[in-house]
Chain A
Amino acid sequence: MFGYMGKILRINLTTGVIGTEDLDFELAKKYIGGRGLGTKLYMDEVDPQIDPFAAENKIIFINGPLTGTATPTGGRYMVVTKSPLTGCIASSNSGGKWGAYLKYAGYDAIIIEGKASLPVYINIEEEKVEILPALDIWGKYTSETSAALTEKHPAASVLTIGPSGEKLSQMAAIMNENDRAAGRSGVGAVMGSKNLKAITVSGSQKPEIANPEGLKAVTKECRGILKENGVTGGGLPTYGTAVLVNIINEHGVYPVNNFQEGGDPGAEAVSGETLTEEYLIKRNPCHHCPIGCGRWVKSEHSPDGVGGPEYETLWVFAGDLGINDMEIVIEANYWCNELGLDTISAGATLAAAMELYQRGYITDEQLDDDVILKFGNAESVIHWLKKLGNREGFGDMLARGSYRLCDFYGVPEYSMSVKKQDLPAYDPRGIQGMGLQYATSNRGGCHVRGYLISPEILGLPEKLDRFDLAGKEVWVKVFQDLTAVIDSLGLCLFTSFALGAQQYADMVNEVLGTEWSAEELLLAGERIWNLEKLFNLEAGISPEEDTLPPRFLEEEMPEGPTKGWVHKLDKLLPLYYKERGWDEDGIPTEERLEKLGLL
């Protein structure tokens, strides 16, 4: 078997039984790996209506066929389970090196089932797989856990949850290498619900490659393309993703004060240019990544350096809270990593709480201390973030995410979320395609299920009119299917700023010995997209949830280059359903499912 290791590890935490199973190669090829194969394996075993925190729920850690190969960025793994935040299928991916190490240990995937009676962690050293007590690390922060486990297993990569996952916060992340996160959809809480604190993994096996010389050649070609490209060889390595702050802000779609405005004259203070000039120590790349967008930065709080914030994190702890302080953003990012929190949902929930305070729903009396959750109140950010992460006092309300918080006060419309997952850093009123993509994302509010920002704002691969509706449904479908492919291969989505479907096909063909065309690969992406949709429908997620918060549909953007615009979802959604071959209610048709091999 080429590319894959051919083995799945199954661990039952209730019984302590550990076993291995052969990977079904044909099934793997049909769903590629990673996100696609993980979803298929999960759906074959778990009732979509399951309570995500039930012992009967499962959580799958799975690699793509290119994870652990020499391909550029080939180091990513995916976590697949049912999201406790959204109720949708959750597939969150992370870089670092843990995914590659799992492959080197000889496995394509780990299926975790059951629930341990006491906190445990799993140690994997190729054939040696053990469930070990974790009482001494339960309650510890991410870096403390990593340090303790690295001392015991020096060759291992450490994946862990923080206190937020242990306390079942619906926005808990899974961390590896301290600052790499499978961040979204609350996957860390599912680990926590199983009393599983961490997984350490090491090994020295390598996947067999169908055509090693061919892979060498195509890898060299792709690395060359990535190096020559202005984004992957210039903008991202130099400035990181933070470089987006200024360009998004200048277009009037940089959300401020919980999306009440679309621009911030002070955003330069938290821009990629400022981060690079004043805070950057060095780049902090993931395994086998020639792009290296990751940052290692210093601040007053962390003079020796700490993992740096991404664009979304910069925005959510700055503009979205009405504050522009790089020191606070770096510290907030640090605490999210230590507590094991999704930075987007954590910051967005603080923003929603601030809007509830602004409108009088949350009062001074309800907050159990005197640090007021108010837009622009810099001292509130770290204070309430820690309380959220530890579920202390009113922080317990915040830990449920913005939707549940606002819904508690009877005003869910102040949660800037889709399917209960908080939206990232782009106001859809001025980016019509992106708004359609938000509304139709299978995991709720998300920017990595097809990144329409590329053509609508950044001019990549070509500049589209961001207000025009024409053809946007076609772009959205292609981008969604392509990101499903890349997530399933085990590569980083950022490669797609330079590489196209043909290059992905070339790489995977040399690894697996397949002869897929770019079209066949995209068809697999469409299959994966439809499979996820089927899960959501069976889980009770109605197509009525394919929508946006009313603010974007009804309230015109008040100022700036997007002034006067609302999102025109009512016009775009029917076109999108048609483009997908779904019926007018947003349900995949039998005809389309048959074509995709899903019936």
Chain B
Amino acid sequence: MAIKVKLFAYFREGRGKIVPMDYTPGMTGQDVINTLGITAPEIAAIIVDGVDGKVDSMLTVPIKDGGYLAIFPPVAGG
């Protein structure tokens, strides 16, 4: 199955809103961002299969088959 990578704000530039990727067992967010050419320090928030946490640790969490990632650069407002 495939996983879905949702990108936001300027991470979309040249990549699109949603990037489908083939699933490989054990794949992590780090594998995904390597493929997309995004580095960890550029990321402010990340959600893996509905769970958020500190970026560095979330990048090591295995993604589920058919799962998704949401990746955000620094954004704020209020």
> Interface of A with B (CB < 8 Å)?
229-231, 234-236, 238-244, 246-247, 250-252, 268, 272-273, 293, 310-312, 424, 447-448, 451, 453-454, 457-460, 462-463, 465-466, 493-494, 497, 560-561
- Cβ A463 vs Cβ B76 within 8 A: no
Among candidates A240, A251, A466, residue contacting B77 with C-beta atoms closer than 8 Å = A240
- Cβ B53 vs Cβ A465 within 8 A: yes
**A310 CA to B76 CA, complexed, in Å:** 12
Nearest A residue (CB) for B72:
A247
Pick from B21-29, B31-39, B44-52, B59-67 the stretch touching chain A.
Answer: B44-52
Residues of B within 8 A of A460 (CB): 44, 74, 76
Interface residue SS majority, chain A: helix
Q: A293-B77, A447-B78 are in contact. Are A458 and B8 (CB under 8 A)?
A: no
Residues of A within 8 A of B9 (CB): 235, 238-239, 243, 272-273
> Interface of B with A (CB < 8 Å)?
6, 8-10, 12, 17, 44-45, 47, 50-55, 70, 72-78
Nearest A residue (CB) for B54:
A463
Residues of B within 8 A of A231 (CB): 74-76
Residues of A within 8 A of B52 (CB): 251, 457, 463, 466, 561
Residues of A within 8 A of B78 (CB): 241, 244, 311-312, 424, 447-448, 451, 453, 493-494
Q: A244-B78, A457-B45, A497-B76 are in contact. Are A250 and B70 (CB under 8 A)?
A: yes
- Cβ A273 vs Cβ B8 within 8 A: yes
- Cβ A234 vs Cβ B47 within 8 A: no
Known: A293-B77, A463-B53. 18 other contacts (CB 8 A): A230-B73, A231-B76, A235-B73, A235-B74, A238-B10, A241-B78, A243-B9, A247-B45, A250-B8, A250-B72, A311-B77, A453-B76, A458-B76, A459-B74, A493-B78, A494-B78, A561-B47, A561-B52
Residues of B within 8 A of A238 (CB): 9-10
Q: Distance (Å) between the CB of B52 and the closest chain A CB?
A: 6
Residues of B within 8 A of A230 (CB): 44, 73-74
Among candidates B8, B12, B72, B77, residue contacting A241 with C-beta atoms closer than 8 Å = B77
**A246 CA to B78 CA, complexed, in Å:** 13
Residues of B within 8 A of A239 (CB): 9, 75
Nearest A residue (CB) for B76:
A231
Tell me which of B52, B53, B72 has the highest count of chain A C-beta atoms within 10 A of its own C-beta.
Answer: B52
